[in-house]
Chain A
Amino acid sequence: ETGVTQSPTHLIKTRGQQVTLRCSSQSGHNTVSWYQQALGQGPQFIFQYYREEENGRGNFPPRFSGLQFPNYSSELNVNALELDDSALYLCASSYERDSIFEQFFGPGTRLTVL
């Protein structure tokens, strides 16, 4: 069983730039969620995709957007980067099982915005 992978591991950008983060779901999982974790905080939900459709969104501006592909891999895009976007970005995949999603997390991408 292949685990959740994310790329890149680390990334440094400057204000105003755009970034794309990638996530490969665990084999057999059709749902992916993205989270932002600032230093010293718990993860904050950005959005979730289920079978290529957005299935819920947290309190993040439209410059945070996503995609899920037919193979259930996913991208998180952030436009017009701001200093406060510096954080660890986590994706987690899951498969609906008895109406409870158990999520399996990737190692994260650490984004630094200068």
Chain B
Amino acid sequence: KNEVEQSPQNLTAQEGEFITINCSYSVGISALHWLQQHPGGGIVSLFMLSSGKKKHGRLIATINIQEKHSSLHITASHPRDSAVYICAAFTSGGSYIPTFGRGTSLIVHP
């Protein structure tokens, strides 16, 4: 069973700060998914990655397969980035069923 841990659980920042959210998992994976969940529940897919690094606007996601660790970075954070960020790991071996972390709640103050 894959254990997925996120840190920190809660994060408060001032507008403009650089944010890092971490995700670690216990067994080998084929891919990792970063998701954003706004109040009310809607989930938006941010990144799907299996190696290296991806960038989209102010968001950057990295993954280190050997260390079983991924990070999500937000540069120049903005109040509209306030949301819960969730990572989901797809275990290797042909299973496409993800295991989710509990999420990191981010609040960015103006």
Question: How many B residues have CB within 8 A of the partner chain?
Answer: 25
CB distance from B72 to the nearest CB of A (A): 15
Contact A45 B42 (CB under 8 A): no
Residues on A with C-beta less than 8 A from B41 are 37, 88, 90, 107-108, 110
Contact A44 B100 (CB under 8 A): yes
Contact B43 A105 (CB under 8 A): yes
Contact A105 B86 (CB under 8 A): no
Q: Contacts A99-B30, A101-B90 known; A43 to B100 CB distance under 8 Å?
A: yes
Residues on A with C-beta less than 8 A from B30 are 99-100
Q: Contacts A41-B102, A42-B86, A42-B101 known; A90 to B43 CB distance under 8 Å?
A: yes
Residues on A with C-beta less than 8 A from B31 are 100-101
Stretch of B62-70, B73-81, B91-99 contacting A (4+ beta carbons < 8 Å): B91-99
Contact B101 A102 (CB under 8 A): no
Contact A102 B103 (CB under 8 A): no
Give Cα A28–Cα B14 distance, bound, in whole angstroms.
41
Q: Is the interface of A mostly helix, strand, loop or mixed?
A: strand
Give Cα A40–Cα B37 distance, bound, in whole angstroms.
12
- Other than A42-B103, A43-B100, A100-B31, give 17 A-B pairs with Cβ distance below 8 A: A37-B41, A40-B102, A41-B103, A42-B100, A45-B98, A45-B99, A48-B96, A56-B96, A56-B97, A58-B97, A96-B96, A100-B48, A102-B45, A104-B45, A105-B44, A108-B42, A108-B43
Q: Which chain B residues have a beta carbon within 8 Å of chain A's beta carbons?
A: 4, 30-31, 33, 35, 40-45, 48, 50, 86, 88, 90, 95-103
Q: Which chain A residues have a beta carbon within 8 Å of chain B's beta carbons?
A: 31, 33, 35, 37, 40-45, 48, 56, 58, 88, 90, 92, 94, 96, 99-105, 107-108, 110
